[in-house]
Amino acid sequence: MRRVAIGILVSAAVLATSALQAHEGHVHKLMGTVTAVRADANEVELKTTDGKTATFYVTAETKFLKGSKPGALADLSPGTRVVVTTRMKDDKSFAAEVRIGVATPATPAAPHPH
């Protein structure tokens, strides 16, 4: 019985270690509205669609897309809608790709004949 308990504990420890290592570099998607841009720290904060606050960091490798055209960190400001693909490293979320929302102009409603 004792061998079984030790075997279970060892197996659990191995599985827990594997799960933690697998999480490093794991891809996450964030979607929401930018609330703060701290360009000096390469840090962006946003409010996700479920109302939570999330922070991600940008690097020289981060790809920015504004519609189908290239974008930049300078295109982000509070109120900008984004979809971000991130990877975790050292408990921080680093952006691999930032898709910047492009507002389409509203089309005026056609007048109704009376």
| Beta bridge pairs of residue 86 | 28, 95
Reported pTM: 0.69
Per the structure, the complete domain to which residue 48 belongs is given by: 26-100
What is the separation of C-alpha 67 from the centre of its chain, rounded to a whole number of angstroms? 17
In tens digits, what is the pLDDT along the chain, a chain of 114 residues?
555 444 454 444 444 443 444 355 578 899 999 999 999 999 999 999 999 999 999 999 999 999 889 999 999 999 999 999 999 998 899 999 999 998 765 566 666 666
Is 54 a member of any domain? yes
Which residue in the block uniquely carries the two structure tokens 């109120």? 79
Could you tell me the CATH number of the domain that includes residue 72? 2.40.50.320
* Number of domains comprising the chain: 1
Is 91 a member of any domain? yes
Is 17 a member of any domain? no
Q: How many CB atoms lie within 10 A of CB 90?
A: 6
Tell me the two tokens of residue 35: 């609330």
Is 65 a member of any domain? yes
Query: Is 79 in contact with 46 (CB distance < 8 Å)?
Result: no
